Structure 1
Amino acid sequence: MDSYRNSDPRPPIMQGSPPAMVLPKLDWDRPPWNRWAFQHVREFLPTAEVWRGNGHRHRFERAEVDLDGLAVEDSTGQPTTLAGLLDETYTDGFLVLKDGRIACERYFNGMGERSLHLSQSMAKSVTGSVFGILVGRGLIDPARPVTDYLPELSVTGWAGASVQHVLDMTSGVRFSEEYTDRYSDIGQVDVATGWKPVPPGSDPAFRWPSHMFELILGLTETIRPHGAAFEYRSIETDVLAFIMERVTGKRLPQLVSEELWQKLGADESACFTVDNAGYAVADGGFNATLRDYGRFGQLILDNGRGVVPADWIEATRNGRHGPDFNPSLPEGSYRNQFWIEDPRSRALMCRGVFGQMIHIDWNTSMVVVKLSTYPDFSNVAYSVATVKAVHAIAAALN
């Protein structure tokens, strides 16, 4: 079924009593269903709260600028406006923070200021930041072997890998991130996390993992020496989360709440989806509001404000850049669960499939958050046009 843009008529997905169009469990993240589902995860998946606490709310001052008519390029390189690009790229929420103030805030597709939106892999950067806090506290040493913290992994492909290898996704573990193949490793993650049922008609002899740690224990092969090369694999983040839980005795939602969410002054409690064993899905199951994603980005831009260690953030901005690193970030790099845009700006990016992005740039004192529901897992043209638009906004505001 085709998706719809914000300028198109909106189909009655999960609207009415009973709903006229009921969300399919197997394809809730596919178009057009994802346009509803990414804002309503708590209504169809089990979740664990990331409590905001009883403390302060970090209030943003507003210094709004009308950016709707700003000249940018669309996904084909043709002239359009920012408003036109946001419509073309299936935007749900868009936020620009300049010098810590709100310069632009837009909601679409039924999203509001209290709506929690699925982060997809931006969750990796949230997890990585809390990991950095624990490293700064001396609870974890990135130079040590993974098996020092999770000895069960001595029979897996992570045997011999350091924690830093996992942080940078340079372990040699074989893991297929083929999103459209339901039998790939990432397809099995969908089942292990409880996001999807076992596909109907699947081979009855195929053993599907019942939870995430079971899946991790089944990854026994390597394809290259540890540290030899970067390869994006979501499962690495989940290994990190199990290390965090093992050394603290706390579950991930509690850790993110106590170490990050309560301290950044969030508006709303966030949440993680959880698997059958109660494990919070660190690689992509985090949900939060548009402004709270902005607060997270601003905290990183402010060099952690004593919450995330400043030296961890500085180290994160120093990656190994190579030619043709990524189709949408050709000069990019990856470090400590963040993307680095290029070696000159050293801007950090949190990225997730279907068009999730937090862009953090010290050179322009700007944070940009874009929450989206692309019809496809990835769209290089949309992503490139979005980053170009971020640069155009920075030029307009500086």
Structure 2
Amino acid sequence: MSAAPIVAAALMLVGCHRPDTQAWPILLHAEARLSDRDVFAAQRVDAAPQSLPWPRSPKPLVWPGLPEAQAGEAPEAWLARQSTVAFLVIKDGRLRYEHYSGGYAAGDPIPSFSVAKSVVSALVGVGLQAGWLQSVDQPVTHWLPELAQRDPRFSRLTLRELLAMRSGLAWDEAVGNIASDVAWYYLAADLRGWFDSLDFAGEPGDAFRYQSVNTQLIAAALERASGQSIATLLQRWLWQPLGAEYPASWSVDALGTVKAFCCLNAGARDLARIGELYLAQGRWRGRQIIPSSWVAESTTAIAGGEYGLHWWTPPKSEPRRGDYYAQGLSGQYLYIYPARRTVIVRLGERNGEWWPALMRAIAEAN
């Protein structure tokens, strides 16, 4: 069946929310893929002038039992069969294990999808430490006053509530449904233009509802507060100070606005540096980059839930051991286990619900 009728029907549903013309190839395959990195324009994030390669550990990685493993299957074969393109383990500040497949190599920028949301949370911490952000309990209209003209409830919506995914906004996050808000936001030509049509389904602070537009609102506030784009903030405050070996990129819409909610493209080695910064309570080589209080607060699940301030924690059914992670579509993970001094990065094309439990098992076996 031709994709044209599907696309035409979807466009009728979208109405005034015009898709970016660069996104037509994505429309035709109707799902987000790693290859989307090459479809969208992007803002470059430069590597550190003096990079800091990871020191290597002489110890081999001890593997626990692998889900869905075949008899006698090597870990590398298993990773490839799970559509994993990058898998990396940092233990005690040393590179314990690294493997790539699917044509990817260490320096390749790989889409992180919603792992980017946790990077935005880290940049909130940067703003708090640097002083250009005063408090996450300020309303978003402090930086985006035009939103109050749309609905007075925006004046009661704080950065904390956006970070906690408790904005009360009306938003359809049905990933895989081409008519959903998130699907068309991914393709949008004007991300900020969508702010003009946002409505509330409830009150700020209401129940948890995972919504990508919340992250984009946070990013817009950070850009207003700092006077710099999210990609520039990443380069200046994280990528280069942490000694990134390779450049990254952050995809943008047709107007150059960074797709903060989804589209940071980075190598696994350098993504792991953010995990290592969090292991060190926001301190790197004698410099406090993120307040230790923000590291603790943002990675702690809000009472009764499994989500902090743009970071995930293990399911409530699992024992609390202090581990937490950033998670993106198709099984992108940045996993951090402070008690085991372990950071794990997994990037791939296909998810498995058992990834967090497996990464915890790997950390505890080593």
TM superposition score category, shorter chain reference:
0.7 to 0.9
Q: Distance in 1 between matches of 2:28 and 2:115?
A: 21
Does the C-alpha gap of structure 1 residues 90 and 255 become closer, same or farther in structure 2, counting only changes over 3 Å?
Answer: same
Greater helix proportion = 2
1:43-64: CA deviations, max 9, x gaps? 332111112242x312211114
Letter in 1 for 2:116: A
Q: Is the 8 A contact 1:71 1:81 kept in 2?
A: no
Does the C-alpha gap of structure 1 residues 71 and 252 become closer, same or farther in structure 2, counting only changes over 3 Å?
Answer: closer
Deviation at 1:29, TM superposition (A): 7.3
Letter in 1 for 2:257: Y
Q: Is the 8 A contact 2:276 2:343 kept in 1?
A: yes
Letter in 2 for 1:383: E
Aligned-pair RMSD on alpha carbons? 2.5
Q: Distance in 2 between matches of 1:296 and 1:47?
A: 21
1:206-257: CA deviations, max 9, x gaps? xxxx40011122112x223221221111111110110011112111111111
Letter in 2 for 1:216: F
Deviation at 1:389, TM superposition (A): 2.1
Q: Distance in 1 between matches of 2:30 and 2:238?
A: 28
Indicate the residue corresponding to 1:161 in structure 2.
157
Indicate the residue corresponding to 1:346 in structure 2.
322
Q: Distance in 1 between matches of 2:71 and 2:167?
A: 40
Indicate the residue corresponding to 2:7 in structure 1.
none
Among 104, 125, 139, which residue is 1:132 paired with?
125
Among 344, 349, 359, which residue is 2:335 paired with?
359
Indicate the residue corresponding to 1:4 in structure 2.
none
Q: Which moved more, 1:142-151 or 1:132-141?
A: 132-141
Indicate the residue corresponding to 1:263 in structure 2.
241
1:173-194: CA deviations, max 9, x gaps? 01100122222111220231xx
Q: Is the 8 A contact 1:73 1:388 kept in 2?
A: no
Q: 2:345 aligns to what SS in structure 1?
A: strand
Q: Distance in 1 between matches of 2:236 and 2:128?
A: 16
Q: Is the 8 A contact 2:191 2:253 kept in 1?
A: yes
Does the C-alpha gap of structure 1 residues 394 and 29 become closer, same or farther in structure 2, counting only changes over 3 Å?
Answer: farther
Deviation at 1:28, TM superposition (A): 5.5
Does the C-alpha gap of structure 1 residues 272 and 344 become closer, same or farther in structure 2, counting only changes over 3 Å?
Answer: same
Indicate the residue corresponding to 1:151 in structure 2.
145
Q: Distance in 1 between matches of 2:30 and 2:333?
A: 17
Structure 1 stretches lacking a partner, 5+ long: 2-22, 193-209, 326-332
Deviation at 1:79, TM superposition (A): 9.9
1:110 aligns with 2:100: no
Structure 2 stretches lacking a partner, 5+ long: 2-23
Q: Is the 8 A contact 1:71 1:80 kept in 2?
A: no
Q: Is the 8 A contact 2:113 2:263 kept in 1?
A: yes
Q: Is the 8 A contact 1:82 1:389 kept in 2?
A: no
Does the C-alpha gap of structure 1 residues 266 and 71 become closer, same or farther in structure 2, counting only changes over 3 Å?
Answer: same
Q: Which moved more, 1:70-79 or 1:256-265?
A: 70-79
Deviation at 1:300, TM superposition (A): 1.2
Q: 1:272 aligns to what SS in structure 2?
A: strand
1:295-345: CA deviations, max 9, x gaps? 1211111111111221110111322243xx5xxxxxxx2222111226722
1:46 aligns with 2:41: yes
1:87 aligns with 2:80: yes
Indicate the residue corresponding to 1:170 in structure 2.
166
Q: Which moved more, 1:148-157 or 1:176-185?
A: 148-157
Indicate the residue corresponding to 1:320 in structure 2.
302
Letter in 2 for 1:388: A
1:292 aligns with 2:265: no
Does the C-alpha gap of structure 1 residues 24 and 163 become closer, same or farther in structure 2, counting only changes over 3 Å?
Answer: closer
Q: Which moved more, 1:143-152 or 1:359-368?
A: 143-152
Q: Distance in 2 between matches of 1:76 and 1:166?
A: 39
Letter in 2 for 1:26: L
Q: Distance in 2 between matches of 1:159 and 1:187?
A: 27
Q: Is the 8 A contact 2:76 2:99 kept in 1?
A: no
Does the C-alpha gap of structure 1 residues 25 and 180 become closer, same or farther in structure 2, counting only changes over 3 Å?
Answer: closer
Q: Distance in 2 between matches of 1:339 and 1:153?
A: 28
Q: Is the 8 A contact 1:120 1:352 kept in 2?
A: yes
Deviation at 1:71, TM superposition (A): 4.0
Deviation at 1:91, TM superposition (A): 0.2
